[in-house]
């Protein structure tokens, strides 16, 4: 598997990176759906939430901690939405696990 996210991890494609460590990467979405919209992805290639294995527990936990940290750094003190689109019916377009974090305005429900 070599998705666009894998290319961003390898620095083959530029991205506006907000956070990077050994486990995950956070960067701004190129097609933002809210005033603040960034993604957090694991550096480990995991296709989707549906493909998680027991060994991925620490990876996903780290991604969620980074999502919270970057959301605070981005000023999302009044709240935000975290979404993991999963597989086709869930709207997943890139076959690499990723979390969308959106905020900066009142978000409505249902999203679509």
Cite the active site residues: 98
What distances in angstroms separate CA 14 from CA 10, 11, 101, 102, one per listed residue?
10, 6, 20, 21
Chain centroid offset of residue 98 CA:
4
Q: How far apart are CA 33 and CA 31, in angstroms?
A: 7
CB neighbours of residue 29 within 10 Å: 17
């Amino acid at each position: 598997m070599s998705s666009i996210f894998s290319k961003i991890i390898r620095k083959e494609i530029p991205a506006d990176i907000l956070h990077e460590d050994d486990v995950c990467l956070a960067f701004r979405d190129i097609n933002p759906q809210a005033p603040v919209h960034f993604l957090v992805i694991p550096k480990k290639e995991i296709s989707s939430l549906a493909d998680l294995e027991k060994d991925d527990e620490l990876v996903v936990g780290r991604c969620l901690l980074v999502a919270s940290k970057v959301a605070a750094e981005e000023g999302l003190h009044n709240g935000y939405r975290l979404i993991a689109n999963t597989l086709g019916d869930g709207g997943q377009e890139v076959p690499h696990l990723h979390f969308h974090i959106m905020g900066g305005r009142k978000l409505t429900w249902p999203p679509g």
